[in-house]
Amino acid sequence: MRNRYGYPKYVSVAEKRAKAEKKIKQLRKKNPDLAPVTISGSKLAASWWGRAWNSNLEGYADFSNRIGRGRSYVRHGAVLDLKIDSGKIAALVQGNYAAPYKVNITIKPLKKSAISLILKIAVFSSSSFFLIRTNPVPYFSISPVR
């Protein structure tokens, strides 16, 4: 819906959150395994790896508003479901329309030889080695190729 100047109707944060919560309740009836994304505080990522992942994504952003819009969706509770598996990420996002939309990302998993090389290089950098030793890599990012 647009206003008289042709711009989309303003929707408050409270309305966006309420819409997302209503949709989550509705979807949970059919899919009890639903995994909505929630954050506590203002940080999107708590771990060093999560912050590095977000920083890396920002470097590849093809449109200036895409990352910001994604952050906004997460903060407003609009990411209704998120599944991370070896080589793929699937999400269900509540946008402006009544029906949520699906997002699928496919990532070619690293071969064991590439993972070994990365870890060998990291060992020679004391700061990288310390981070790896104190903050293990999430299981899904180093899954072997099947």
Does any domain span residue 19?
yes
Q: Residue 95: how many CB atoms within 10 A of its CB? A: 13
**To the nearest whole percent, how much of the chain has pLDDT over 70?**
82
Does any domain span residue 1?
no
Q: How many residues does the chain have?
A: 146
Q: What span, in angstroms and rounded, lies between the C-alpha atoms of 123 and 117? A: 10
Q: Which residues contact 82 (CB under 8 A, 6 or more apart)?
A: 35, 36, 37, 89, 90, 91, 92
Provide the pLDDT for residue 87.
Answer: 86
User: CA torsion angle for 96, 59, 139, 82 (degrees, to 10)?
Assistant: 0
Provide the pLDDT for residue 137.
Answer: 58
Same-domain pairing of 76 and 22? yes
Provide the pLDDT for residue 144.
Answer: 41
Same-domain pairing of 41 and 101? yes
Pairing of strands 88-93, 79-85: antiparallel
Does any domain span residue 68?
yes
20-60 per-position pLDDT tens digit? 888 899 888 988 888 888 887 778 888 877 888 888 888 87
Q: What span, in angstroms and rounded, lies between the C-alpha atoms of 61 and 64? A: 7
CA atoms within 13 A on the CB side of 34: 20
> Which SS3 state, helix, strand or coil, does residue 40 take?
coil
pTM of the model: 0.67
CA atoms within 13 A on the CB side of 80: 23
Does any domain span residue 18?
yes
Does any domain span residue 142?
yes
| Contact present, 44 and 73 (Cβ < 8 Å) | no
Query: With 60 as the cut, is the pLDDT of residue 63 above it?
Result: yes
90-116 per-position pLDDT tens digit? 999 998 888 899 999 998 888 889 888
